[in-house]
Chain A
Amino acid sequence: MGQKIAAFFVIFFLILFVGLQFFVPHLLSGIFSSIATPFWQAEFAIGSGSLRSPGSLVAENEDLRRRLSDMEMRMGSILSVEKENEELKALFGITKTTPNIIGVISERQIFVNSSSSTSTPSLTGTNSEERRASGKILAPVLVRPPFAPYDEFVVSGGEDMGFAPGDRVYASEQVLIGTISEVLSRTSKVLLYSSPKQTHQVLVGSGNILATAVGRGGGQYSAELPRSAQVKEGDSVIVPSLWDKPFGIVNAVISDPAQPFVTVLFSPPVNIFQSRWVLISK
């Protein structure tokens, strides 16, 4: 008799279970999960060290903070080096995908004044043979406008590097930006072509119209051209006989109907005031 009741109970129980699952599918899962969840949370908390002493937790917290700080400092250093690397590659026109970058840099005889106060590392060496062989020297920009007045750069390297007044200075992408105007023992001053009143012969636009560019300061130039010259924004400006790379890009063409000339405003294709390195050609 008892077994019959038991069997009936089991069957009834199974039918109840099936019915519940059919009509309220999440009821049993919700109930049993709510029972098990506190145990799971407790297990997780114990596994996470919640039962450890406050002292050990504080010590671990301190240790983690210190490690995080170290990592952040290291990350900052890595980002700085990465940025510097990109700038150096841009200076030499090396794309990111160029293989054997070290080899290319080595062939080009990059040299950095390791004795300068900027503690800039030497990339390939410091001997004078390398320097003379290359004719191009990489120099870090120590001061630049607006901190340096008169539209000039102060670069690391001077007499110790063999710089001389008149040496040409290139920004990234090998854009000619100025010449060395004064050489000191460990530093040199670079007078930018865009310095006020500086004049240069340039060829403007696709017609290579000869004009005189006048520096306006701040990396800006102006030149006057005949009205008949078909010059438009975006035209390139090059320097005859010096360098075939763009000297500038036309930013604006100012035309006054009362004047026979148009004024062309142009600037270097790169922002020279963001340059951290320059190339100096002897």
Chain B
Amino acid sequence: MKKSFYYRIFADILVVIFLIQGWWFVALPVLLIGAWSFPFYFELILAGIFYDSLFGMAGAQGIYGYVGTIVTSVFFIVIFFAKRIVRR
């Protein structure tokens, strides 16, 4: 196993803990760093879905109940292409 794999697992655990606590503002930097550091960091989108599932997705919230998923998806796509451009 590569060393980066363990870092990735560690980052994922941290993100889950932060999201359960509702500390999105702490989880988001970790996710962004992970998305930049690790290849194909789909945990970024998963984290958004996880956060929305816990605290959002209520009918009364409408689109605001999916902000986590939308934002992380956007970040995922942006970072994905940014990495391709930068590392070309």
Measured CA separation A10–B57 after assembly (Å): 20
Measured CA separation A7–B77 after assembly (Å): 9
**Pairs A-B, 4 closest by C-beta atoms:** A32-B53, A6-B40, A28-B53, A29-B53
B45 touches A13 (CB 8 A): yes
Please indicate the chain A residues that have their CB under 8 angstroms from the CB of B80 in the complex: 7
* Residue tally, chain A, CB below 8 Å to B: 19
A14 touches B53 (CB 8 A): no
Measured CA separation A94–B42 after assembly (Å): 77
Give the contacting residue for A28; candidates B20, B21, B42, B49; CB below 8 A.
B49
Measured CA separation A101–B37 after assembly (Å): 78
Please indicate the chain B residues that have their CB under 8 angstroms from the CB of A9 in the complex: 42
B57 touches A28 (CB 8 A): yes
In this complex, the interface size class of chain B, counting residues with CB under 8 Å from chain A, is: 10 to 19
A31 at the interface (CB under 8 A from B): yes
Question: What are 19 inter-chain pairs, A to B, with CB distance below 8 A?
Answer: A6-B40, A6-B42, A7-B80, A9-B42, A10-B76, A13-B45, A14-B73, A17-B69, A21-B57, A25-B57, A28-B53, A29-B53, A29-B54, A32-B49, A32-B50, A36-B20, A36-B54, A39-B20, A43-B21
Which residues 37-88 of B sit at the A interface, judged by CB distance below 8 A?
A: 40, 42, 45, 49-50, 53-54, 57, 59, 69, 73, 76, 80, 84
Residue of A nearest to B57 (CB): A29
A243 at the interface (CB under 8 A from B): no
Please indicate the chain A residues that have their CB under 8 angstroms from the CB of B57 in the complex: 21, 25, 28-29
A50 at the interface (CB under 8 A from B): no
Residue of B nearest to A31 (CB): B53
Please indicate the chain B residues that have their CB under 8 angstroms from the CB of A13 in the complex: 42, 45
A122 at the interface (CB under 8 A from B): no
B53 touches A10 (CB 8 A): no
CB distance from B85 to the nearest CB of A (A): 13
Please indicate the chain B residues that have their CB under 8 angstroms from the CB of A6 in the complex: 40, 42
A interface secondary structure, majority: helix
A33 touches B73 (CB 8 A): no
Please indicate the chain A residues that have their CB under 8 angstroms from the CB of B20 in the complex: 36, 39-40
Find the residue from B45, B53, B54 having the highest chain A CB count within 10 A: B53
What per-residue 1/0 map shows which CB atoms of A30-58 lie under 8 Å from chain B?
01110010011001000000000000000
Please indicate the chain A residues that have their CB under 8 angstroms from the CB of B84 in the complex: 3
CB distance from A164 to the nearest CB of B (A): 78
A10 touches B45 (CB 8 A): yes
CB distance from A208 to the nearest CB of B (A): 72
Residue of B nearest to A9 (CB): B42
Take A17-B69, A28-B49, A39-B20 as given contacts and tell me if A10 and B54 are in contact as well, using a CB distance cutoff of 8 Å: no
Residue of A nearest to B56 (CB): A29
Please indicate the chain A residues that have their CB under 8 angstroms from the CB of B49 in the complex: 17, 28, 32
Please indicate the chain B residues that have their CB under 8 angstroms from the CB of A28 in the complex: 49, 53, 57
Please indicate the chain B residues that have their CB under 8 angstroms from the CB of A31 in the complex: 53
